[in-house]
């Protein structure tokens, strides 16, 4: 009887400690983002004709947010992996963390435009590089520190949910030890910003709750 009582006490303490745990929304480290983006600018100034300003202008001017993506609130940071040989020819474009709904096709279309010209190089070190670009609809509050470029499209007639909406619900279910429910919201946050590693760590906690 005493043993059962102790088990009950430990169980209650465990539940209280989980519920009392504070989950703080992961904030991007600006210094890290600034350093990374400075490196990207240096590479683009060397490889892209017209430099990094011309590259940014290319996206701001030509990227068309697919209607299906806007209607689905497809928002997030895509990592654009670009390979350009030293002759200045675009060889490959791989979109990591693709948002779907035609966004990846639109990215590749922009990079295939005639005005997307590349300079030659003498060092293979600068033939492959990654550029994080945030695609977001107007009025949606999301992280704008980690990406190098923020491409904003018109909202679909309503404002898509902010990051905080998904975070609050993830925390709600984490505190209730409902890992599966928490993961459904954490996955959206990871899609929105795969560069914030804390989201992945918190997801590991949610997975453990399911075992």
The 3 state secondary structure assigned to the chain is CHHHHHHHHHHHHHHHHHHHCCCCCCCCCHHHHHHHHHHHHHHHHHHECCHHHHHHHHHHHHCCCCHHHHHCCCCEEEEEEEEECCCCCEEEEEEECCCCCCHHHHHHHHHCCCCCCECCCCCHHHCEEEEEEEEEECCCCCCCCCCCEEEEECCCCCCCCCHHHHHHHHHHHHHCCCHHHHHHHHHHHHHHCCCCHHHHHHHHHHHHHCC
* pLDDT value at residue 148: 94
In angstroms, the CA 42 to CA 46 distance is 6
What are 92-148's pLDDT values in tens digits? 999 999 999 999 999 999 999 999 999 999 888 899 999 999 999 999 999 888 999
pLDDT at position 5: 46
Q: In this predicted structure, what is the pLDDT of residue 123?
A: 84
What parts of the chain have a pLDDT lower than 70? Answer: 1-21
Strands 128-137 and 90-96, sheet pairing: unpaired
In sequence order, which residues have a C-beta less than 8 Å from that of residue 98 and are 6 or more positions away? 78, 104
- Per-residue confidence (pLDDT) for residue 144, from 0 to 100: 86
Task: Give me the pLDDT at residue 209, please.
Answer: 87
Q: Give the per-residue pLDDT at 76.
A: 96
Token output for 82:
């670009």
Question: What pLDDT score was predicted for residue 56?
Answer: 96
The backbone torsions φ and ψ at residue 179, rounded to the nearest 5 degrees and listed phi first, read -60, -45
Task: For residues 28 and 48, give the distance between their C-alpha atoms in angstroms, rounded to a whole number.
Answer: 28
- pLDDT given at position 24: 85
Whole-model pTM: value is 0.83
Give the tokens for residue 133.
Answer: 């670009």
Contact 56/149 with Cβ under 8 angstroms?
yes
| Residues 202, 170 contacting (CB under 8 angstroms) | yes
């Amino acid at each position: 009887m005493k043993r059962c009582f102790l088990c009950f006490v430990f169980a209650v303490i465990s539940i209280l400690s989980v519920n009392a745990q504070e989950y703080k929304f992961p904030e991007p480290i600006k210094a890290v983002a600034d350093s990374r983006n400075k490196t990207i600018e240096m590479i683009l100034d060397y490889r892209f004709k017209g430099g990094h300003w011309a590259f940014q202008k290319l996206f701001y001017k030509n990227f068309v947010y697919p209607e299906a993506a806007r209607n689905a609130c497809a928002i997030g940071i895509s990592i654009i992996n670009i390979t350009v040989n030293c002759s200045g020819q675009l060889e490959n474009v791989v979109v990591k963390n693709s948002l779907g709904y035609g966004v990846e096709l639109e990215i590749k279309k922009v990079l295939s435009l005639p005005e997307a010209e590349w300079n030659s190089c003498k060092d293979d070190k600068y033939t492959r590089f990654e550029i994080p670009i945030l695609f977001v609809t107007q009025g949606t509050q999301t992280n704008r520190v980690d990406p190098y470029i923020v491409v904003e499209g018109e909202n679909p007639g309503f404002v898509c949910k902010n990051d905080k909406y998904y975070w609050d619900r993830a925390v709600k279910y984490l505190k209730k030890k409902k890992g599966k429910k928490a993961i459904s919201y954490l996955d959206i946050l990871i899609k929105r910003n795969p560069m914030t590693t804390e989201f992945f760590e918190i997801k590991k906690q949610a997975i453990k709750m399911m075992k």
